[in-house]
Amino acid sequence: MIRVDRVALRGLKARGHHGVFPREREEGQTFIVDLVLSLDTRPAAADDDLAKTVHYGVVAEEVVAVVEGEPVDLIETLAERIARTCLKHDGVQEVEVVVHKPDAPITVPFDDVTITITRSRV
């Protein structure tokens, strides 16, 4: 059994206009994204070659662009879009996406709202 390796990006921050309420769409808010990309890093390590792994700087920029892009109602939809973006990278076999919405419009005290999804190529 071959286990995959994981590259994690934590705390990517971007301002988006996602939500079901007009105020969320108009004013926007900060979203935070955590990613765990599953892939086999052995070829990259053997040759010390960036082209044989995932370029996490590029992934980070693409994910921020998704958050800053076209608004959606649900963070579930946003997480799905982020997962699809990550899986477009060769070698990424699976991705775990956590979208944090710390400023969600909730009327009681809270620390955070998150959605966590896992998607794979198969």
Burial of residue 40 (CB within 10 Å: 0-12, 13-18, 19+) is middle
Tell me how far apart the alpha carbons of residues 30 and 18 are, in angstroms, rounded to a whole number.
10
Which one is catalytic: 13, 52, 88, 101? 101
Active site residue 101: yes
In contact, 38 and 94? CB cutoff 8 Å: yes
Catalytic residues: 101
